[in-house]
């Protein structure tokens, strides 16, 4: 039996929440390995809709769940989310949720800095969620972050805050923000500490025990590969590595434990925030995709930009992530389009490229080369069998497989958990 890593293969919002929820039935432990509460997963179970940001999707199934060391954690946001999900009838205690004691914290000063820098950037803004994710990762690599374990050591916490503020006070003055009161920040952290620490433990050790026991681990990624800080459309990216390789580093398990890599791919393309988007549509087709797909951010509520399927970008993601199989989502949103388009290359000046170049100017100049396909008028909504799909929809899926170079392992036809067609079980390798 293989472990499975689930990653987004576009710009996020591909429907990972539903797929992870569906797969968690077959897993023993679910691990979130990067990002923060800027990424949202929506799970629809019966008549209930769960919106998760920090909590791994496994909590809804009652599966032991881990927030790994690769995640930056806003402790107040975490506690609010726990309370909200418990209000929906899901009990979340330390026996269910493990918080890596070496994970770094997002503090109020990170949120302040995030918002102030975006406001100061004007037309050059990146489009962050303003939740402090980037500044928290900056402090992590700058070796001045406060970590979960520090909450248990008031003396160390005081020293860490002094070091942190030596950096932040200068930044704040440059942005006309008031100085931070160190004593007030320390008091705030001491207040939240007893609420967070019951969940804290060495996650790597717990996961090593799971591995040795032969249990199955589901690694849950956030956002998408095209937002990866190294491999995405830089600088319009997130501040962490979102690719499958991060599942090992962000959880504390070695790379051989990652197992089957499942890439989540929407049947069209969406993006939130700023940055290049070659297949973006500004016409009625784009509006229709957004309305039918209910394309609004889970966390921010911002409308998503919509466009045709980009096989070039997905093929690139498949290579970078080592994707073994694809979960194709939201096929039903394409119902009723008489003609569908798929991007198979880019024109950049007098060149035709089969990949997205790294340079900002080339990315902005890339225009799609399209292949047109026949659409279908029948409904695919809720289909649970390959034979329930119209012939044109089957042809569309098969063409995506050919163009991206990866087989479709799962096909999702609605937000409902059980409206999923299984072609290949990722846990079977």
**Which residues are known catalytic residues?**
13, 41
Q: Are strands 351-353 and 339-348 parallel, antiparallel or unpaired?
A: antiparallel
Q: Which two tokens stand for residue 364?
A: 């902005």
Please tell me the number of Cα atoms within 13 Å of 197 on its side-chain side: 12
| Joined tokens for residue 168 | 């932040």
CA 85 – CA 24 distance, rounded (Å) = 17
Q: Is the dihedral of CA 176, 181, 186, 187 positive or negative?
A: negative
Q: Is 205 exposed, middle or buried (0-12, 13-18, 19+ CB in 10 A)?
A: exposed
SS3 for the chain, per residue? Answer: CCCEEEEECCCCCCCHHHHHHHHHCCCCEEEECCECCCCCEEEEECCEEEEECCCCHHHHHCCCEEECCCEEECHHHHHHHHHHHHCCCCCCCCCCEEEECCCEECCHHHHHHHHHHHHHHHHHCCCCCCCCHHHHHHHHHCCCCCEHHHHHCHHHHHHHHHHHHHHHHHHHHHCCCCCCCHHHHHHHHHHHHHHHHHHEECHHHHHHHHHHCCCCEEEECCCCHHHCCCCCCCCCCCCCCCCCCHHHHCCCCCHHHCCEEEEEEECCEEECCCCCCCCECCCHHHHHHHHHCCCECCCCCCECEEECEEHHHHHHHHHHHCCCEEEEECHHHHCCCCEEEEEEEEEECCEEECCCCCCHHHHHHCEEEEEEEECCCCCCCCCCCHHHCCHHHHHHHHHHHHHHCCCEEEEECCCECCCEEECCCHHHC
Which two structure tokens, joined as six digits, stand for 114? 């995030």
């Amino acid at each position: 039996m293989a472990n499975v890593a689930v990653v987004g293969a576009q710009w996020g919002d591909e429907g990972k929440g539903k797929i992870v929820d569906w797969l968690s039935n077959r897993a023993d432990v679910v691990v979130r390995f990067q990002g923060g509460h800027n990424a949202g997963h929506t799970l629809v179970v019966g008549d209930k809709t769960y919106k998760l940001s920090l909590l791994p999707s496994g909590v809804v199934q009652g599966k032991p769940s881990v927030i790994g060391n690769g995640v930056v954690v806003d402790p107040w946001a975490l506690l609010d989310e726990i309370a909200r999900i418990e209000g929906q009838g899901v009990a979340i205690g330390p026996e269910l949720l493990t918080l890596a004691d070496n994970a770094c914290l997002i503090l109020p000063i990170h949120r302040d800095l995030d918002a102030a820098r975006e406001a100061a950037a004007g037309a050059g803004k990146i489009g962050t969620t303003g939740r402090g994710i980037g500044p928290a990762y900056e402090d992590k690599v700058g070796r001045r972050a406060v970590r979960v374990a520090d909450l248990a050591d008031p003396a160390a916490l005081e020293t860490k805050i002094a070091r942190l503020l030596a950096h932040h006070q200068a930044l704040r003055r440059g942005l006309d923000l008031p100085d931070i009161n160190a004593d007030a920040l320390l008091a705030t952290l001491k207040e939240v500490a007893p609420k967070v620490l019951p969940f804290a433990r060495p996650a790597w050790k717990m996961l090593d025990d799971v591995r040795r026991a032969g249990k199955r681990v589901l690694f849950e990624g956030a956002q998408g590969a095209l937002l990866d800080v190294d491999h995405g459309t830089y600088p319009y990216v997130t501040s962490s590595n979102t690719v499958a390789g991060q599942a090992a580093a962000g959880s504390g398990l070695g790379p051989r434990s990652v197992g089957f890599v499942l890439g989540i791919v929407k049947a069209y393309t969406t993006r939130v925030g700023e940055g290049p988007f070659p297949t973006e549509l500004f016409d009625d087709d784009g509006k229709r995709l957004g309305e039918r797909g209910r394309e609004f951010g889970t966390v921010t509520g911002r409308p998503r930009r919509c466009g045709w399927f980009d096989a070039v970008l997905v093929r690139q993601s498949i290579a970078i992530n080592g994707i073994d199989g694809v979960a194709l989502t939201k096929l039903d949103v394409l119902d009723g389009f008489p003609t569908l388009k798929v991007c198979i290359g880019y024109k950049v000046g007098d060149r035709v490229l089969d990949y997205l170049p790294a340079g900002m100017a080339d990315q902005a100049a890339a225009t799609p080369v399209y292949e047109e396909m026949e659409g279908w008028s029948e409904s695919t909504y809720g289909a649970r069998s390959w034979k329930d799909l119209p012939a044109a929809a089957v042809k569309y899926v098969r063409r995506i497989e050919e163009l991206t170079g990866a087989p479709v392992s799962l096909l999702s036809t609605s937000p409902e958990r059980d409206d999923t067609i299984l072609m290949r079980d990722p846990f079977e390798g």
